[in-house]
Amino acid sequence: PQLINTSCRKPTRPHFETMLIYILLSFVSLLTVALNLLVIISISHFKQLHTPTNLLLLSLAVSDFFVGVLVIFQTMLIDGCWLLGDLMCSLWLILSSITISTSIGTMVLISVDRYVAICHPLHYFTKVKPKRVQVCVCLCWMFAALFNSLLLKDNLQQPGRYNSCIGECVYEMNYMANLFDLIVSFLFPITVIIILYVRIFGVAVYQARAMRSHIAVVTPKITTKKSEMKAARNLGVVVVVFLICICPYFCLALTSQDNLYKASSVTILVWMFHFNSCLNPLIYAILYPWFRKSIKVIVTLKILKPGSYRANIL
C-alpha cells in the first residue's frame, strides 16, 4: 500500500482501444520479423546474391529484424508501466538506439555504393569489393554500439536513476550530448545521403538528355549500365521511404526543449521506424524479382535440397 502513490500511472483508455493497439502492434511486429528473416535467409543462402549491394541490404534486414523483436516490448508501455525491471529497461533502450543508428549508417553506405556505381562505374569493381563492404558493415555496427553505450552509460551504470515512479522507463541526456547525438545520428548522415543522391540524380538526368538528343557520348565517366541505374532507382525508393519514416522523430527532437525522454512518449520513433522496418521487405518484393523467387524456394522448402545455394535466382 505504501507504494501506491509512487507507482506508474496507467492511462485511462477504453478496453477495446487497448486491445486493438495490442493486436496491431503484435501483428506488425511479427510481420516485420518474418519478412526480414526471409531477406536474411535469401541473401545469406543463395550464392548469386552475395554482392556488395546485397550485403548492405543484409545488414539493413538484420537491424530491421531486431527492430521487430524489440518493439514487442513496447506493447507493455501501452498501459504506461514497464514490467521487466530497470536493468531490462536500460538494455531495451540501448539496443533500440543501436539498431536505429545502424540502420541510418547502413543507408549512408548504400548511398555511397550507388554513388560509386553510377558516377564512377569503372572504379566500382576495384573499389567496392565484398570484403571491404563486410568490414564497413562491421565498423558501422561497432560504432553504433560504442556511440550509444557512451551516450546512455549513466542508465547502464545505474538503471532506473531517472525514473520518477515505479514502473517508469526513461533516460536523460544533457544538452550537449543531445546536440551531439542529433548531429552524428541525423544531420550529418542525412546530409551525406541527400548530397550523394542529388549527384546520382544529376548523372541520370544528363544521360537521359543525351539519349533523347541522340548524342553519342561514349566516355567511361557518363556511360552507366542500365541495370546499375535501375538498382539506384530501387534503392532510392528504399532511402526516400526511410527518410520519410525517421525525419518526424528527429525534427521533434530538434524543436523540443525537454531533454528527458520517456519511452512511452517517443511514439513517433517506435511506430514510424518500426513501420519502415516492415516496409523495406515489401519494397524488395515489389521491386526485386530475385526476392520473390527466393521466397518461393524457401516457402516450398526447396532450400533444403543439396546444392540449393547454387540455384539461379537472378
Q: Which three cell numbers stand for residue 59?
A: 545488414
How many CA atoms lie less than 13 Å away from 284 in the CB half-sphere? 25
Q: What is the pLDDT of residues 286-314, one digit of tens each?
A: 778 888 888 888 888 888 888 877 878 77
For the chain, give the mean pLDDT: 76
* pLDDT attached to residue 12: 60
Length of the chain: 314
Short-list 141, 126, 131, 145, CA closest to 55? 131
pLDDT of 223 > 60? The answer is: no
Residues 6+ apart with CB under 8 A from 66: 95, 99
Short-list 299, 226, 293, 296, CA closest to 48? 293
pLDDT of 221 > 60? The answer is: no
pLDDT of 4 > 90? The answer is: no
* pLDDT attached to residue 37: 92
* pLDDT attached to residue 3: 47
User: DSSP letter at 225?
Assistant: -
Architecture of domain 13-256+265-310: Up-down Bundle (1.20)
Domain ranges of the chain: 13-256+265-310
Q: What is the pLDDT of residues 11-56, one digit of tens each?
A: 566 666 667 777 877 888 888 889 899 999 989 988 888 888 889 9
Q: What is the pLDDT of residues 142-172, one digit of tens each?
A: 999 999 888 887 777 777 666 666 766 766 7
pLDDT of 214 > 70? The answer is: no
pLDDT of 226 > 80? The answer is: no
Q: What is the pLDDT of residues 235-289, one digit of tens each?
A: 677 777 877 777 776 666 666 555 445 444 455 555 766 777 888 888 877 778 8
Percent of the chain with pLDDT over 90: 8
* pLDDT attached to residue 198: 83
pLDDT of 195 > 50? The answer is: yes
